[in-house]
Amino acid sequence: MLLVVDVGNTNITFGVYKKEELVTTFRLMTKTPRTSDEFGVLITEILRNDGITKEDLRGAIIASVVPNVMHSLIGSIQRYLHTKPLIVGPGVKTGIRIVTENPREIGADRIVDAVAAFEIYGGPVLVMDFGTATTYDLVTEDGCFTAGITAPGIRISAKALWEDTAKLPEIEIKKPASILAQETISSMQAGLVYGQIGQTEYIVKQVIKETGYENLIVVATGGLGRIISDETDIIQHYDSKLTLKGLRIIFEKNAK
**Positions marked catalytic:** 109
Strand partners for 218: 126
Of 157, 104, 148, residue with least CA distance to 126: 148
Are 124 and 145 a contacting pair, CB within 8 Å? no
Please list, in sequence order, all residues whose beta carbon lies within 8 angstroms of the beta carbon of residue 177, skipping any fewer than 6 positions away.
186
Please count the CA atoms within 13 angstroms of the CA of 150 that sit on its side-chain side. Answer: 7
